[in-house]
Chain A
Amino acid sequence: MGLTTSLTNAVSGLRVNQDALGLVSKNIANSGTPGYHRQSLNVVDYNSQDSSYARSVGANRAFNQSLQSYYNRQVSDTANSSIQASYLDRLQGFLGKPGAAGSLDTIYSDLQNSLQAMATSPDDYTSRSNAVTAAQTMAETLNRLSSTIQGMRQETEGQIAANVHKMNGMLNSLSEVNSRMLDLGMTDSARASLLDQRDRLVASVGELIDVRADYRGDGTVALMTRSGVGLLDNGVSTFSFKSAGSLSANSVFDPNSAETKVGQLSLTTPSGLTIDLVTQGVLQGGELGGLVTLRDKTLVEAQEQLDEIASGLAQAFSTVKTPGVAADDGAAVDPATGFDVDISALKPGNDVLFSYSEGGETKQVRVVNSIDPVDYFDASGQRVIGIDLSGNATTAAAALNAKFNGLNITSTGAGNLRILDDGALGSTDVKSAVARSTSTGLQGAGLALNLFVDQGNSTYTNNLDSDPPQKQGFAARISINAAVVANNKLMVQHEVGGTLGDADRANYIISQLDSMNFTSGGNPAANKDKFQLTGTLGEVISQLVGFQGANINAALTKADDRQLTLDTISDQMQSEYGVNLDEEMARLMELQNAYSANARVVSVVKELLDALLASV
């Protein structure tokens, strides 16, 4: 051991201290930089025979892979919920609170009240015109909500396109980061900032799409979606989005890419394979996932519910009920009894309702005039059967008869359906039968009234056979019959030249609104994840408002919860990666002391050497 050794030791200490000071200063300087990971110095001491000195071997960057994966996942989920919450938050503004002006339930109750007032004063111009105005407001509210919803869907497409653009840019940057990472000649601090950049990019990608990052030892990262589609490995996959242009209620997603009427989001892998992300169900999180869910599910369902209300409204006003006429098979003893139903006036989408009891249990059947041979039990427990009633009545009766064991359904001629029970066996009993057709005229065609009409003043019959079905997007097209707007006497005058004091039509419509039942959603088995609205029109509207309220509330709460989790993780990252100024300051003091001590050693050694040299 000699003085030189001490000097060397002290000098090595000074160097290490300087490096450490450099890092501390960098930490302090970057204490506010987003995504900066705290760095610390690696110090190695060399022990040779006569000396032990310290040397810095690069910097350590604080990093916790499991925390990082957790963070990436939470970012995707939070982004997914937040984007949905932000859209739905706006939607609830349009729906309005119960009792608020413009809220569906308020407008409907206004319509009912104006009809009541019209029934009390059918001869009063003002009360009739109030009723027409209330109906118009109802139609316009449905139009407005529909266009809001479709506008939002349109917006999601725009946002998807923007996100796709952003995503491609980020993936390319990340790919560059990866390739630079393979350059081993870099200094540790340069590498650390590159890693910071890498983590920022991964998190940003995670915000857009659910992502699983595979951090490799060499600092590169491979990305794939949670469903396992590779986004970035040796090459970069490219997202592309083909917009569908303007979206309407009829623009719905279809798994068949040729049929789909919405924008197509696809991914092309470096090998040239193209995957449709929506059809394949790749998107499980991130903003893109949220936007697609909004576009194809949440907003579509809201639109369907509005369509249901519009459809119910039109039908409640326009449905003509033709009760069946009692009939029997003419047997002298225990005749089979039932009803003759006149089906000649039925249009596509109109139906025949009948109820019968079998073994004491009453069953409801709705036979829809449709070429689509559906057969299911709807949400209200009513059996729905699709039969073509417009064509040959005998064929229709035979087809229907095949569906029921205990009933005898025949046809006595064109336009007739005879529904009889099993007669002497006595196990079934037909209770009622009624044909429900759509009113054909404003006057002289019964009490029903085609007040709400489809585009171009055409009749709404809830036709299932057109493509798309007439109900789809009806809320956007519903309007008031121009003839009634021009002459509001038609609201009460159901016969040409009839007295205006006659409240029969108004009373009929009020009773229809109070008693006609609707069930949404078709076959519950085929639409498992959809909420089924059922009941009278008022109940359906309440259910819509209630359902949307609960749904939006759930989405907002979920977004809040996820945000909270993300905040917790961020806190944890802060403590793991972040710069603690106090700690750095303390280290600074420590380094200052060590530095001055080392300097002191150097100066002491110098004095000793000087003394030694002077004594020589």
Chain B
Amino acid sequence: MIVNKSMFPLQTGFGVISKMQERFSDLQVQLGTGMKASTLADMGRDLPLSLSVRSRLGKIEGYSANIATVDLRLSFLDKTMSRFDTIEGEARNSAVQGQYGTNNINMATLPSLSKARLDEVVTLLNSDVAGRYLFGGSNTDHAPVPDTTTLLEGQGGKAGFKAVLSERKAADAGLLGNGRLTTAHPVVIPAVPTVTLSEDGAHPFGLKLSNISTTAPNTAVTYTAPDTTTPGIARTLDVTFAEVPDQIVAGNTITIGFSLPDGTETQITLEAVETASVPPSVNEFVIGATADDTAANFQSTLDARLVDVASKELNAASNFVASESFFNGPGEPVLRVKGTNPATATELRVADGTDTIMWYQGQSPAVAAEGLGRTSIRTDAATNTVTLAEKAPVSADHGFTIGGTAAVTGNITTTYSGASPNALNVEFTGVPTAGQQVQFTLTEPNGGTTREITLTAVAGKPGVGQFQIGADASATAANFSKALNTVVSEAAILAEGNPRQTVTSQIDDSTRASYGVQGNESGMLRLVRSLASMSVETFLDTDAATESASKERYDAMARRQQLQLSASHDSERGSIEILTMELAVARMSLQNATSRHTDYKAQLDNLLSDVETVSKEDVAMELMALQTRLQASYQVTAMVSQLSLSKYM
């Protein structure tokens, strides 16, 4: 602005007019834009308020965008979860024990129907929203599960489920196909009428002897029950038949119980008969002329019966245990049979991605609360020793590593074995005194957190990290075992964390919506396991023999599927029902945040409009008043400028 070019500027009157004109154009701009100020400086005292309101509004906008994105994902998850629920129900009802359908239609169609369901489950697990996979926890950038064919058949030389299953079936069946058992009836002179049934080694495969009973009087049959308390031994039992006249009579039975690899139990009952039925029954043995003959008959029936059990009940158990090891859960490794010949294998091994298809590649905790983070607690009543041991086979990537700082104190002797699998033995040689402590560490895999665990002996009611001193060493050991279980469980729960927390989104200043879902959570895991197991079995019914065998296998499979998918699992962590509920909670918090944001935004918008916008009425009024004034000024100025003396001369 040039101040100085006319020393005597326009008369004040004209100056005022030009000011009024400026104001006029300001008002016009205000009317046009609706904004009070057109520049930063014009905003004056309103500036700080405008800035803070705008920054808050910007934040709300960001949160709202987040909410919109998350809401889409949650609605997608909601749909997917309800589909899972439906599939679970369908699968549960598809195979019911004893319901084979007209012409065994159920048996014939079950595998393909299960395969179709498995396909759908895998598709759902791999579903994505705009390129984001929702079932891999925070690993959202690649599909968490390979396709069904790869899962079942393997790919590129890597074993799929079918290969792992056949290994396991072979390992469970053994060379003789009788569940890794051997029977013996020594041929010696003089003859001994004893049949010995023993496991062929200390390993996790095949049938495990659990008990024996008989309806025959003990004068007729005597037996030695298997030793089920000592761990890690091959169990054995024997049955001895009495000589005439105390020989077993027809109708008496001998029942032998077995534990199956999947944790279920089965038994065989062999009945003594005078003459063999036609056709011969697998459940009968003929009473011979001598006890030795009877024993020989018993042995051959037992052999045949064992093969029969192995092909039906054990076969189903093998299948389900194989699906459990192939479709590993959180904090568990994939397990396969170790060695080149599965039929003689004695150990499991941890399989990795180099030779086996890893079914779930999403995010998964390294330690799971289920199964104490791959540790086990055992109490040896004889020596009052409580042992906390890592589960074999040890996996570098899964479960706790037990570390010992075992200090020997008073009546507690702790010994730590660092040879993998590590174990900590706590022996109570007497009643400890209050305040005595047992310490050890639990370390998460791959450089994870190390937790120091301390258990303190107390006389009264134990709190967290304490165990009660019992009346004697044995009671104390029992209390200690209980307390140990509690602390290890807690450590495992802490280490596992909550899968929901793996994916969170900020929806307000201090509110986060958690909606992570991991495909290997128990609900989906059970569904995948049982559907995979069901879809690889075939049930032939070409003739009466195969039909009845198939029916028994069908029953065994159906029973196990029922067990896996029963509604009793609905309340366990990670079940489809619990997941649905937790996601609904997240969605609810989204809705609450949305309504909060909407309300707040409306208030802020009002505030901002008070600060920044003009009321059109006010501006219009001012414009009109200004117009009147300006017109009057023009008029007067014009009139005054006419009033000059020179006009009148």
Contacts and interface: CB of A to CB of B under 8 A. Distances in A.
A501 B503 contact: yes
Contacts of B156: none
A116 B65 contact: yes
Given A121-B69, A121-B132, A549-B47, A585 B505 contact: no
B571 interface: no
A552 B132 contact: no
Nearest to A97: B40
B42 A553 contact: yes
Contacts of A499: 138-142, 363
Contact of B41 (A116, A200, A552): A552
Interface in B2-40: 3-9, 11-12, 15, 37-40
Contact of B40 (A502, A548, A589): A548
A425 interface: no
A152 to B, nearest CB: 16
Contact of A34 (B6, B15, B136): B6
A121 B8 CA distance: 69
Interface stretch (B52-60, B206-214, B295-303): B52-60
Interface residues of B, number: 56
A344 interface: no
A542 interface: yes
A570 interface: yes
Interface stretch (A45-53, A172-180, A403-411, A572-580): A572-580
A99 to B, nearest CB: 5
Chain A: number of interface residues, binned into ranges? 35 or more
B486 interface: no
A98 B8 contact: no
B66 A120 contact: yes
A549 B43 contact: yes
Contact of A119 (B40, B51, B505): B505
A125 B141 CA distance: 10
Contacts of A82: 1, 3
Contact of A538 (B43, B55, B644): B55
Contact of A105 (B1, B15, B37, B55): B55
A501 B139 contact: yes
A563 interface: yes
A510 interface: yes
A34 B141 contact: no
B43 A500 contact: no
B62 A116 contact: yes
Contacts, number: 176
Contacts of A573: 7-8
Interface in A562-610: 563, 566-567, 570-571, 573-574, 577-578, 581-582, 585-586, 588-589
A207 B4 contact: yes
Nearest to A79: B3
A507 B502 CA distance: 13
Contact of B62 (A89, A117, A206, A563): A117
Interface string A84-116: 001011001101111100000110011011001
A120 B69 contact: yes
Q: Is the interface of A mostly helix, strand, loop or mixed?
A: helix
Contacts of B55: 105, 109, 538, 542
A502 B58 CA distance: 25
Indicate the member of B5, B7, B130, B137 with the most A CB atoms within 10 Å: B7
Nearest to B505: A120
A502 B138 contact: yes
Contact of A570 (B9, B43, B504, B649): B9
B163 to A, nearest CB: 28
Contact of B644 (A112, A553, A581): A581
A589 to B, nearest CB: 7
A542 B52 contact: yes
B506 interface: yes
A113 B47 CA distance: 22
B3 A546 contact: no
B646 A86 contact: no
B114 to A, nearest CB: 31
A112 B50 CA distance: 18
A326 interface: no
Contact of A501 (B6, B7, B141, B612): B141
Nearest to A86: B1
B319 to A, nearest CB: 33
Contacts of A586: 645
A14 to B, nearest CB: 21
A175 to B, nearest CB: 20
Nearest to A568: B12
Nearest to B67: A120
A151 to B, nearest CB: 19
A393 interface: no
A86 B2 CA distance: 11
B48 interface: yes
Contact of B141 (A89, A199, A500, A556): A500
B610 interface: no
A188 interface: no
B6 A567 contact: no
A546 B645 contact: no
Given A96-B40, A124-B132, A552-B41, A589 B649 contact: yes
Contacts of A556: 41
B41 A501 contact: no
A123 interface: yes
B12 A571 contact: yes
A151 B228 CA distance: 91
Contact of A545 (B51, B58, B138, B506): B51
A582 B644 contact: yes
Contact of B58 (A109, A510, A552, A585): A109
9 contacts: A34-B7, A35-B7, A75-B4, A98-B50, A109-B58, A117-B66, A500-B140, A546-B48, A549-B47
Given A92-B40, A113-B58, 15 more contacts: A78-B3, A79-B3, A98-B43, A98-B51, A105-B58, A106-B54, A109-B55, A112-B59, A112-B62, A113-B61, A120-B506, A122-B140, A124-B130, A200-B7, A566-B3
Closest 7 CB pairs of A and B: A109-B58, A501-B140, A113-B62, A553-B41, A500-B141, A585-B645, A92-B40
